[in-house]
Amino acid sequence: MTRFNLWPVACFLLLSPALLVAQPLRVIDDQLYYLGTPGDPEWQEFAGRTPVGRRLDLKFTARANTNENTLFLRQRDVKLDWGVELNGRKLGKLFLSEQDLIQSLAVPAGALHDGENTLSVIPPKERDDIEVGEAKLDSRPLTAALNESALMISVTDDDTQQPLPCRITVADRNGSLFPFHVENSHPSIAIRPGVVYTGSGSVRIGLPAGSYTLYASRGFEYSVRTQHFTLPPGRTYPLPMRIRREVPTQGMVACDTHVHTFTYSGHGDATVDERMLTLAGEGIELPIATDHNTLTDYGEAARKMGVQDYFTPVTGDEVTTEAGHFNVFPVQAGSRVPNHHITDWPKLMEELRAAPGVRVVVLNHPRNVHSNFQPFADKNFNPVTGENRRGFEFSFDAMEAINSSALQSDLMLTFRDWFALLNYRYSVTAVGSSDCHDVSRYIVGQGRSHVR
């Protein structure tokens, strides 16, 4: 990793914690609790551990609050909706993310009672093992608690000195993603707990006083700039950061063949405008729009967000059937969407290739189960010889050897499947993709392909 000098700003930021004034922050409970079903751990890392139960109820004493307060909760491995209640009053939910992060929730005036109070974390009906706890209460409103001090961050290319779209990540002492405040009026950002994408390379973030690590990044081809600092209260500092293209990819473009938006796919959390910022911020130069059974053109949204010069969008479609999912591209604008009700593969392949302009058909996540169907289940596919046990010949052009949002416990499983197809003398290209529906839960371009 390349190191850069950060001029005198580092002298301002690298202050002793002793210089920080006392904060209006109270620790309700300092433990991190494992919630799950006893004797049936969801994750291998929880094997041998006994959960405290499926629900968490923390008792603590407090005084009634006449103004909004702020609750901080640490969480890990949250993939379903978990409610957060105070004295039976819903405050919100844990953030949907498997990452280690701090969730911040507003506590309305009057939600705290004089005397005993109960903070509850309510499980979903479905199975979901999580860790949650380290609850803290700030006597200030959410905006004030997260905006005690500020950083004016600007990220530039170290070679050209030009601003770069990028991802800014903020973590606390534990390495947990930490939330921060950004003004709602900011025109070109996508923000989630501990993460902000900026299309301009600049952003002002507010943080509580404390010690943090900040990262500036732009996908695998670029270096990562890391800054450790302790931020005193009531101050605003400039923080220029430089990153450099480190991986030589001349003659190739970074492509993600499997990209979604909440706007058009209906799940995840990245709106189409936010997706433009994440694509530019992760250095994806050839994104394929593959919303479910929908043709999406990213051109207008890219221009709206001011990042149209950083990538060339391609219109595609994830044809989502009950017998597998397939990405097809490019598809001419205004074309009819392929019929996703067809489940007979030979007929489906004909339908996919009949879409105007289509040059590529990709078999997506062949080891995943959707609609009770797994394309490469043992009854359907011989993983040694590459033979299709359903009788007909495969005719897709490519398959996802890596789908970073749908990884297998055995990371090499789909690679071996690809080699089996090659052994059978199928001419099939392996692709890496992200299948990303979110701003930060899964990262767009974390699985990617480089195309000549």
**Claim to verify: residue 315 and residue 405 sit in the same structural domain:** yes
Please name every residue paired with 116 in a beta bridge, in sequence order, or none if there are none: 61
- Whether residue 4 lies inside any domain: the answer is no
pLDDT of 185 reads 64
**Claim to verify: residue 129 and residue 186 sit in the same structural domain:** no
Among candidate residues 243, 266, 282, the one where a domain is terminated: 243
pTM for the full predicted model: 0.91
- Whether residue 345 lies inside any domain: the answer is yes
Give me the sheet containing 314-315, strands edge to edge.
314-315, 286-289, 253-259, 449-451
pLDDT of 408 reads 86
Q: CB burial class (10 A; 0-12, 13-18, 19+) of residue 152?
A: middle
Q: Of the candidates 231, 211, 284, 294, which has an alpha carbon nearest to the alpha carbon of residue 260? A: 294
Assign residue 174 the CATH number of its domain: 2.60.40.2190
Query: What contacts 129, CB < 8 A, 6 or more positions away?
Result: 34, 35, 36, 37, 41, 42, 43, 46, 51, 77
Whether the bond into 330 is cis, omega within 30 of 0: yes
Residue whose pair of structure tokens reads 């070109």 in the numeric block:
188
**Full domain range(s) for residue 260:** 253-451
pLDDT of 23 reads 54
- Whether residue 3 lies inside any domain: the answer is no
Assign residue 309 the CATH number of its domain: 3.20.20.140
**Claim to verify: residue 230 and residue 318 sit in the same structural domain:** no
The total number of residues shown for the chain amounts to 452
Between CA 245 and CA 249 the distance in angstroms is: 9
Residue 265 and residue 316 in contact, taking contact as beta carbons nearer than 8 Å: no
How far lies 57's CA from each of 26, 74, 144, 223, in Å?
18, 15, 27, 44
**Claim to verify: residue 447 and residue 361 sit in the same structural domain:** yes
Q: Which residues of the chain have pLDDT under 50?
A: 1-22
**Claim to verify: residue 350 and residue 417 sit in the same structural domain:** yes
Domain count of the fold of the chain: 3
Residue 276 and residue 307 in contact, taking contact as beta carbons nearer than 8 Å: yes
The model's pLDDT over 180-202, given as tens digits with 9 standing for 90+, comes to 999 876 678 999 999 999 999 99
pLDDT of 1 reads 38
Please name every residue paired with 330 in a beta bridge, in sequence order, or none if there are none: none
**Claim to verify: residue 183 and residue 331 sit in the same structural domain:** no
Name the amino acid, one letter, at 367: R
